[in-house]
């Protein structure tokens, strides 16, 4: 299994049988190396409703009738566009043919802005615990630091955690450093930075602030084999 980072909060998980995209914000993402035309995901996971996380989900899903997994409100909203969805809620888990997905808490907001500037509320934001082939990946989504991250460290054996470090809208590097410790992740990869002026950060500096061997600065397109 290969896990790759593609700028902002875009993560791809590639197994022998499935291509999985998390928060596929591609068009308009200055940090990504991906092109919508080249991607053909089987599964799309969405942490919350903001446009820079829903991104190109509908266009990507229609290529191969990909399954979209998100909270109930996002799943219901996107189903109106003729795509296949599976709705979930915080604390719930479900075993799919590719692996197990559990939605965790995330402290943020969640809404989608339409082309007509209408703001649509899309339920609670979430983090994602994805377990595939005996490995566990935690994608925190957009969130501030919260003490229940300690429970993730107690109940989950996290191989890789993607944590936001951008500050302003999410945790900054200082809080993300605490989150890295609380989750007990074997490998921590920073995300959600440098896409906009408000979230400019030095990811290498963050990585160096973590315990030796834990942090890894992944440039867009770099891949980790699990």
pLDDT tier, 111 (very low <50, low <70, confident <90, very high otherwise):
very high
Q: What's the whole-number mean pLDDT along residues 75-88? A: 98
**Percent above pLDDT 70 for the chain:** 100
Average pLDDT, the chain: 98
pLDDT at 157: 97
pLDDT at 68: 98
Q: What's the whole-number mean pLDDT along residues 133-159? A: 97
pLDDT tier, 183 (very low <50, low <70, confident <90, very high otherwise):
very high
CB atoms within 10 A of CB 123: 20
Hey, what's the torsion of the CAs at 66, 223, 129, 79, to 10 degrees? Answer: -20
Query: For the sheet containing 126-132, what is the strand order?
Result: 93-95, 100-105, 126-132, 135-139, 160-164, 187-191
Separation of CA 146 from chain center: 17
Q: What's the whole-number mean pLDDT along residues 146-155? A: 96
Q: What's the whole-number mean pLDDT along residues 170-195? A: 98
Contact call for residues 11 and 189 (beta carbons, < 8 A)? no
Q: What's the whole-number mean pLDDT along residues 177-193? A: 98
Half-sphere exposure of 215 (CA within 13 A, CB side): 23
- 2-218: CATH number: 3.60.15.10
């Amino acid at each position: 299994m290969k896990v790759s980072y593609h700028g902002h909060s875009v993560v791809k998980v590639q197994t022998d049988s499935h291509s999985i995209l998390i928060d596929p914000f591609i068009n308009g993402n200055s940090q990504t190396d991906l092109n919508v035309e080249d991607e053909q995901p089987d599964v799309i996971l969405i942490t919350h409703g903001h446009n820079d996380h829903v991104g190109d989900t509908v266009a990507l899903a229609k290529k191969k009738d990909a399954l979209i997994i998100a909270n109930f409100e996002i799943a219901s909203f996107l189903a109106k566009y003729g795509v296949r969805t599976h709705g979930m809620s915080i604390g719930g888990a479900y075993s799919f043919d590719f692996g197990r997905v559990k939605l965790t808490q995330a402290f943020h907001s969640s809404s989608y802005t339409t082309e007509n500037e209408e703001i649509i509320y899309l339920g609670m934001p979430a983090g994602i615990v994805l377990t595939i082939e005996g490995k566990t990946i935690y994608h925190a989504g957009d969130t501030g630091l919260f003490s229940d991250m300690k429970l993730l460290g107690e109940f989950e054996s996290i191989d890789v955690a993607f944590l936001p470090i951008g500050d302003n809208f999410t945790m900054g590097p200082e809080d993300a450093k605490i989150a890295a410790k609380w989750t007990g992740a074997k490998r921590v990869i920073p995300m959600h930075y440098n896409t906009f002026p408000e979230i400019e950060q030095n990811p290498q500096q963050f990585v160096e602030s973590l315990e030796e061997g834990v942090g890894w600065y992944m440039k867009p397109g770099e891949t980790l084999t699990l």
